[in-house]
């Protein structure tokens, strides 16, 4: 997958903000890519383009073998629903639905029968360590538990591309490690791609590649993490 010359500007005239200034990036399969950089440097904008949630002002995104930028509205919505999972910083759970009902939403959208979807979603909740909380409402769960429900929801339809925006920002260290371990375990497979935006240096060792951004550009890409982590690799 790749981005070619992707630029994004918000607003016009005096109010114009250049969020991405022509970014080229290869996104490999089978790796967890971390996207890091200071607040406002364009990380959320970049992954929104990769995930087909935002059209770039210029340039093109080739995602899972499709030119997402040229794909029309309805087709893009369907493509996203079938192939892309999202985890947002603020969870975005539906407050009136239980954990398991939240987690099965992508399957219902894909047309699964409700009963079958609930069974599959319950399995995912089990995998994220929330088997006992399937019938809890989001308001009855801690931040870390809600984020794990959001991850179960993002993975339930086995998306080939998983995009996470600061998934550990609201979590304590232990929950953060659980969440990152889970993302690695479920989503890092030869035919899948995972991008995680993070501010949180504690999660660096979960990444196979670190893409460093500043000011709407990519400054540097680090590869070659050793088993002992990035520091031991001489970075
Ligand atoms: P990051 O995720 O790295 O913090 P963003 O991609 O959210 O950065 O933002 C990049 C730049 O674009 C920032 O200057 C931000 O203020 C601006 N920006 C983001 N979204 C909008 C928007 N909807 N309208 C106007 N400016 C925006
Ligand atoms: Mg952001």
Task: Label residue 232 by pLDDT band (50, 70, 90).
Answer: low
Which pLDDT belongs to residue 44?
Answer: 95
Protein residue whose Cα sits closest to atom 25 of ligand 1: 10
- CA 85 vs CA 41, 52, 155, 161, 193: distances in Å: 23, 11, 6, 6, 11
**What confidence tens digit (pLDDT) does each residue in 117-154 have?**
999 999 999 988 899 999 999 999 998 899 899 999 99
pTM for this entry? 0.91
Q: For residue 90, how far is its CA from the centre of ligand 2 (angstroms)? A: 11
Rounded Cα gap, residues 222 and 235, in angstroms: 8
Protein residue whose Cα sits closest to atom 5 of ligand 1: 42
Protein residue whose Cα sits closest to atom 11 of ligand 1: 19
Reply yes or no on domain 2-228 having CATH 3.40.50.300: yes
Rounded Cα gap, residues 109 and 127, in angstroms: 22
Q: For residue 17, how far is its CA from the centre of ligand 2 (angstroms)? A: 15
Ligand 1, CB within 6 Å, residue ranges: 10-11, 17, 19, 37, 39-45
Ligand 1: atom nearest CA of 45 is 6
Ligand 1: atom nearest CA of 38 is 3
């Amino acid at each position: 997958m790749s981005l070619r010359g992707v630029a994004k500007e918000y607003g016009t005239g005096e109010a114009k903000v250049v969020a991405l200034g022509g970014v080229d990036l290869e996104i490999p399969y089978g790796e967890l890519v971390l996207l890091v950089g200071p607040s406002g440097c364009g990380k959320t904008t970049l992954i929104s383009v990769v995930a087909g949630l935002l059209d770039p002002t210029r340039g093109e995104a080739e995602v899972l073998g499709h030119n997402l930028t040229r794909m029309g509205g309805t087709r893009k919505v369907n493509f996203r629903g079938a192939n892309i999972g999202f985890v947002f910083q603020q969870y975005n759970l539906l407050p009136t639905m239980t954990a398991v009902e939240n987690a099965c939403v992508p399957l219902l959208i894909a047309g699964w029968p409700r009963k079958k979807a609930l069974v599959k979603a319950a399995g995912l909740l089990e995998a994220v360590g929330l088997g006992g909380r399937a019938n809890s409402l989001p308001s009855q769960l801690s931040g870390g538990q809600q984020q794990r429900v959001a991850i179960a929801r993002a993975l339930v339809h086995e998306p080939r591309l998983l995009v996470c925006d600061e998934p550990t920002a609201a979590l304590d260290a232990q929950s953060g490690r659980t969440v990152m371990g889970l993302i690695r375990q479920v989503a890092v497979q030869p035919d899948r791609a995972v991008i995680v935006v993070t501010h949180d240096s504690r999660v660096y060792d979960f990444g196979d590649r670190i893409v460093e951004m500043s000011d709407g550009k990519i400054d540097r890409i680090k590869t070659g993490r050793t088993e002992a982590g990035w520091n031991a690799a001489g970075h």
